[in-house]
Chain A
Amino acid sequence: MSEKHHIIPVWFFVGVMLLAYGILILISGIAEWSNPPHTVLANLHAPVWWGALLTIIGGAYVLAFRPNRSQ
């Protein structure tokens, strides 16, 4: 996407966003582990594994599309 302009690939921004959100949600999920919210299936601790998934995918995108690598 950056042949002419050398713009940082959009995938890098996607990675940063997912990584930041993943970390926030993961921490929030761990913090509420012993006192889960009053939601249905709270016993599954969705924020923990969903936050972890976002962190892994976001981290992979950041690494794969970091600016100095793409140029």
Chain B
Amino acid sequence: MTTDRMISLAPVDLAIIVLYFLMVLGIGFYLRKFATSGEDFFLAGREMTAWVAGLSFLSANLGSLELLGWAGASYQYGILAAHWYWVGAIPAMLFLGIVMMPFYYISKTHSVPGYLQLRYGPAASGLSAISFALMTILMSGVNMYAMAVIMKVVLGWNIHFSIWVSSLTVGIYVASGGLFSAIFNEVLQFFLIWFGALLIPILGLIETHGWTGMVARIQSNFPGQDFTHAWRTLGSAQDNPMGMHWTGIVFGLGAIISMGYWTTDFLVVQRVLAAKDLRSAKLAPIIGSFFKMAVPLIVIVPGLIGLAVLPEHLVPQGSAIAGQHTYDEVLPLMMARYMGPGLLGLGITALVAGFMAGMAGNVSAFATVWTYDLYRPFMRKTASDAHYVSMGRWCTIIGLIISIGAAYLAMGFTSIMDYVQALFSFFIAPLFGTVILGMLWKRTTAAGGFAGLLVGTLASVGMFLIVKFNPEALSIIALSTHAKAMAEDMYRALWSWLICVFVTVVVSLMTKPKSNSELEGLVYGVTAIPSDGTIGIFQKPIFWAGVAALLFVILQYIFW
């Protein structure tokens, strides 16, 4: 990695960046007067339209590290990386909208741990809330550090300056307007990212004379390697650069990891819970799915264009020597290649906005889970609504301070980033097992839910440690000695989900279930799902879910 900055900004670029900071702070101050009650501060008054909730739902996941990391992954793995946007997102988003959202919404829960509290009681809810709160804030910190490093490499900015200025800005606007502020800024970020990054594929494809020309150039630069087919090379783990078999993509990623992330990670689900009615809540993830399908255009295609046009070959993180660039730097390199003054400022602002919106999403979700799922049930059960709002505002600030601490911790121990990422993934797959069984099987009991979540999580951590200390175990867990870290994650998620489901079912069958009346509004079969009413076909969520599913299938066919 070179120590020189990759990009120099002109005054117009700096003006664009400063304008963004002024705008988000102004919006935060403007929204403060609206965030007075708990429902306003933590759930944005539950009055968001389907479009606002849908774009916010998508943007909460579309952070800068996501953009940079997946552009880098597409340079490394080719179009295989698009699976994380297609099979790794679309089925789960549609499932959330059509199957799961009615239960979240009808139960009037404020969070995913809140649903577990209603369905399973305090043990499972507490475990999930503690793990979520801890991991969210740690993730926010390590992401903060990672982004500050990128700003240093790309722009030459001081790391401390990046961390403190962005944190203070996020702290002010989220503590002011709560989820209102977070959602407003996520919608702004959505537009910034699209308009900031879309020029790269447009100009890149003009330079390579279209998709066919780009593929020809990649084949010329990397003879014998297939970077442009999504499924064709997945028949054997040895045939693709990821070391992945198609079962890992379909069952590990598509069925477990993505279902777990998109349907139970409160960071994204919170945005949909802010929708104004059930139809909007169902439509929000479906609207998000259309844009999610298109995100590879601004993330994956730039990585592929990098393979085609960059004169140098990028290298993995950690093995770069002076003058070389790493995979993760492909997006900034492409920005520097095509964007002059003005456009560069827009592109950098998009990255900064994505970073700050991600941080805002983390701290707003942390504040909600801490206040409603830990502080209220376990520390102070009866207090005024104003007290909980005040706690939420303070939590936002405290969460940011802990995040900054985690960022400095990550600065001292770079490997902590890998561990925190892995740690977060430990909870996602088992949590999905616990939530989905709770929603779809009324026989699931509180003891079963808690035991399944606990054993599933411990099993996931155990598998991670076994491979860490005995790499030969990889061939058992990931079914191949060729498996890379991503493939290992997929299979670990699959096994931990199966273990969670198995334990939940066995323990539930041995313990006494709740009565039907206690499960009303929480479980399929004992809950009357409100009809969408006598609306036209084009207004029905199921119709648009069908269109999204069809488009998804067509994309797989085109890029097979």
A residues touching B (Cβ–Cβ < 8 Å)? 1-5, 7-8, 10, 13-14, 16-18, 20-21, 24-25, 27-29, 32, 36-37, 39-42, 44, 46-47, 50-51, 54
Contact = CB atoms under 8 A, between A and B. Distances in A.
A14 B23 CA distance: 10
| Interface of chain B: mostly helix, strand, loop or mixed | helix
A29 B10 CA distance: 13
Contact of A28 (B12, B30, B276): B12
Given A1-B47, A3-B276, A44-B203, 19 more contacts: A5-B45, A5-B47, A10-B188, A17-B23, A17-B188, A17-B191, A21-B16, A21-B195, A25-B342, A25-B343, A25-B346, A36-B340, A39-B337, A39-B338, A39-B339, A39-B340, A41-B203, A41-B338, A50-B199
B301 to A, nearest CB: 16
B206 interface: yes
Contacts of A47: 340-343
23 contacts: A2-B47, A7-B31, A7-B180, A10-B187, A10-B188, A13-B27, A13-B188, A14-B191, A17-B188, A17-B191, A24-B12, A24-B16, A24-B342, A25-B342, A25-B346, A36-B340, A40-B203, A40-B207, A40-B337, A41-B203, A47-B341, A50-B195, A50-B343
B52 interface: yes
A8 B34 CA distance: 11
B40 to A, nearest CB: 8
B184 interface: yes
Contacts of A46: 199, 203, 338-340, 343
Nearest to B184: A10
B49 interface: yes
Given A4-B47, A44-B203, A32 B23 contact: no
B41 to A, nearest CB: 12
A54 to B, nearest CB: 6
B15 interface: yes
A32 B10 CA distance: 12
A15 to B, nearest CB: 10
Q: A16, A24, A28, A36: which has the most chain B beta carbons within 10 Å?
A: A28
B19 interface: yes
A43 B74 CA distance: 28
A42 B14 CA distance: 21
Nearest to B48: A1
A8 B180 CA distance: 12
Contacts of A5: 34, 40, 45, 47
Interface of B: 10, 12, 15-16, 19-20, 23, 27, 30-31, 34, 40, 45, 47-49, 52, 180, 183-184, 187-188, 191-192, 195, 199, 203, 206-207, 276, 309, 336-343, 345-346
Nearest to B13: A28
Contacts of B30: 8
Nearest to A16: B23
Contacts of B10: 28
A24 to B, nearest CB: 6
Nearest to B55: A10
A50 B347 CA distance: 12
B23 to A, nearest CB: 6
Contact of B195 (A13, A24, A54): A54
B57 to A, nearest CB: 14
Nearest to B31: A7
A4 B276 CA distance: 10
A20 B338 CA distance: 22
Nearest to B49: A1
B136 to A, nearest CB: 24
B494 to A, nearest CB: 39
B184 A13 contact: yes
A11 B52 CA distance: 9
Nearest to A6: B34
Contacts of B207: 40-41
Q: A14, A17, A50: which has the most chain B beta carbons within 10 Å?
A: A17
A28 B338 contact: no
A32 B345 CA distance: 15
B188 A14 contact: yes
Given A7-B180, A13-B184, A32-B340, A41 B52 contact: no
B34 A28 contact: no
Contacts of A54: 195
The 3 A-B pairs with the shortest beta carbon distances in the complex, nearest first, are A37-B340, A28-B342, A25-B342
Nearest to B192: A17
A36 B31 CA distance: 41
Contacts of B337: 39-40
Contacts of B48: 1
A59 to B, nearest CB: 14
A25 B340 CA distance: 10
